[in-house]
Chain A
Amino acid sequence: MMGQIIFFCLFVLAVAIFARNASRIYKNIKLGKAINRNDRPVERLKLMFLIAFGQKKMFKKPLPALLHLGVYVGFCIINIEMLEIVIDGLFGTHRVFSSLGSVYNGLIYAFEWLAFAVLFSCIIFLIRRNALHIYRFSGRELKNWPKTDANLILIAEILLMTAFLFMNAADFKLQQLGHPTYHTAGAFPVSQFLVPLLPESASALMITERFCWWFHIIGVLAFLNYLPISKHLHIILAFPNTYFSKLEPKGKFNNMPAVTEEVKAMLDPSLPPPTGEVSRFGVKDVQDLTWKNLLDAYTCTECGRCTAACPANITGKLLSPRKIMMDTRDRLAEVGQNMAKNGDFKDDSKSLIDTYITREEIWACTTCNACVEACPVNIDPLEIIIGLRQYAVMEESQAPASINAMFGNLENNGAPWKYAQADRANWRNE
């Protein structure tokens, strides 16, 4: 009974804290500007199924894709087991689903292998991340906390799966001993090999089984609450993020409607001047981004495929698309905290540009879309970079001198170089 009460309290507490954190993140995402991504729902669903459920873009790199698939499928399916653990915990039952008989045995059989797959993949991931020199796992933005964060997640998954397998092994051994609570149920293709490692006495086995059970469930609840402060939210947000993807060609950049109005009025003085107040052209801070940009930032799991594909980054420039996403998320979290503390946003003399992302970074971009293409969950760092450039150019007139010269040529002679408009067709005679 005591166990049930403790379990109930822990469970409710964990869910409540998670709900609070989730609503905080939702609120932060809503700080972004409006953009319509609700059209063509069938196409969007298809995209979500292919890219998030089907992990289509992951398979550009088959080895990590297979390992990740193991963790992903394992994670999703072992959650059925979580349901049983929660029911057992709340009602004091033991393996409540075992009445399903052979179906249950089949499920446990599958869970065991999946747990092994998760364990195996996570160990390989740890090695890849820390011992092998893989380009996308280096990089200046992946030092300190982000590096620890990634390792913590992998270690947590390894510990959870180990506890799960030892729990089963102890249960299996108790079943073999004929313990009354531990009726014969399940199939243990993996954990049977752990049985020799366990103590012989029934009481020690029960302690082991209970310890692993509690460790597993508390671990899962803790992990749930670790998600919102980690890079790991992609396990949830990958789905909405792919659903709300840009459906137009990657080369198509949005035309700013506020600019259209002004340009129309400039070209045709008979038109009334634009009425809509535009607070700012381009992106200075996270509030100037769209909610999709902000959702992108929370979805990013810092895998670095974007950065490893970025022509600027791989030739040693400061720009890293992954850092653009991480900076956006970190600044957004900071703005969210600021608003929670002060009721409304109180100027902190910081901004996404300069405080987080430098001019050198944004001007190194070739707008080649390699980062957008590389992202397995359709994050678009390029849109943020262009937004920052728009702010630098249209609000501050602060572009590199040669870019300003190009603008001047465009305005004066309709070409980015200093050639006379009248000479445009001279090539015909040369």
Chain B
Amino acid sequence: MENQLHIPTVAEMIAKGERPDLLFWVGCAGSFDERAQRITKSICKILHHVGIKYAILGTEENCTGDPAKRAGNEFLFQMQAMMNIEVLNGYEITKIVTACPHCFNTLKNEYPNLGGNFEVVHHTQLIQSLIAEGKLKPADGNEFKGKGITYHDPCYLGRANEVYEAPRQVLEVLDADLVELKRCRSNGLCCGAGGAQMFKEPEPGKKDVNVERVEDVIESKATIVAAACPFCMTMLRDGVKAKEKEHEIQVLDIAEITAKANKL
């Protein structure tokens, strides 16, 4: 199934005299991280299923510069941003969906001032609107029915951009037993990866942030924790492992849950 899916690049599309209606910004994690690649593929399946004419940039995509900017390297960030903007504007891209809240935040908020003006949505927002339009519908007897599911708010989707409802609405259609973490929405606790922490060892302390967060998940008694960010995915999975709960708690991205529920 996976291999049957043809995912075109913008360049390939244009060579055929076509243009994408939507650019899928895969992101570095979604491109290279094995676990995140499965999220990427789920998003592609969804886009394919609903028949959106989309494309990726492929090898023309570069890191948005988010980790450089949060780590204080404004030069590197702006270099990345301007290169990406040049590519995006060259292809006259107008609408972008991202699989990562960090890419989402950077493209949406920090690119306009540098000449990149696009309509940017996060994949949870796109999925939510597809559900609202009736284009996505969980299959009868979907595997999540009645399961205990909780949702971890990614900082760069939640607090940073106040997207709290879309991912929750996507989960609400599953007929699952939804439960909130004690620290949720604007009070959500970070997974520990933001601000370029993903790429370094944490400073000395009592425990790792992801372990603290997974303790919230354990307390919620949910068996599935839904994520919406590839970095959160890594951190939560590591935290679940550290707590030796990998047989009881599954970490799944909203896109993966949607794809599975729709039997894609």
* Residue ranges of A at the interface with B (Cβ–Cβ < 8 Å): 60, 248-253, 255-256, 259-260, 262-264, 266-267, 281-282, 309, 311-312, 314-319, 360, 363-370, 372-374, 386, 388-394, 399-400, 402-403, 405-407, 410-411, 414-417, 419, 421-425, 427-430
Contacts and interface: CB of A to CB of B under 8 A. Distances in A.
Nearest to B205: A316
Interface string B175-189: 000000000001111
A60 B185 CA distance: 12
Interface stretch (B68-76, B89-97, B138-146): B68-76
B61 to A, nearest CB: 6
Contact of B160 (A250, A281, A402): A250
A422 B109 contact: no
A263 B195 contact: no
Nearest to B31: A424
Contacts of A429: 3
A399 B162 CA distance: 31
A415 B195 contact: no
B37 to A, nearest CB: 4
B166 interface: no
Interface of B: 3, 7, 9, 26, 28, 30-32, 37, 40-41, 56, 58-59, 61-63, 65, 67-76, 78-80, 82-83, 105, 109-110, 113-114, 155-156, 159-162, 186-190, 192-209, 211-213
A411 B80 CA distance: 8
Contacts of A430: 37
What are the 8 tightest A-B residue pairs by CB atom distance, in nearest-first order? A251-B160, A316-B206, A389-B72, A367-B195, A316-B205, A368-B190, A252-B109, A414-B62
Contact of A255 (B59, B62, B114): B114
Contacts of B80: 410, 414
A417 B32 contact: yes
Given A410-B63, A422-B59, A425-B9, A267 B203 contact: no
B78 A260 contact: yes
A249 B200 contact: no
A396 B238 CA distance: 33
B215 to A, nearest CB: 11
B191 to A, nearest CB: 8
Contacts of A422: 59
Contacts of B56: 425
B192 A367 contact: no
A411 to B, nearest CB: 7
A385 to B, nearest CB: 9
Nearest to B198: A416
Contacts of A417: 28, 32
Nearest to A283: B72
A402 B200 contact: yes
Given A403-B199, A427-B41, A251 B74 contact: no
A403 B31 contact: no
Which of A309, A402, A410, A430 gathers most chain B CB within 10 Å? A410
A419 B27 CA distance: 13
A416 B190 contact: no
A266 B82 CA distance: 11
A253 B72 CA distance: 11
Contacts of A256: 74, 78
A413 to B, nearest CB: 9
A405 to B, nearest CB: 8
Given A314-B212, A315-B202, 17 more contacts: A251-B161, A267-B79, A312-B209, A315-B207, A364-B203, A366-B192, A367-B194, A367-B195, A368-B159, A368-B190, A370-B155, A372-B159, A373-B186, A389-B71, A406-B67, A411-B76, A425-B58
A410 B114 contact: no
A85 B225 CA distance: 61
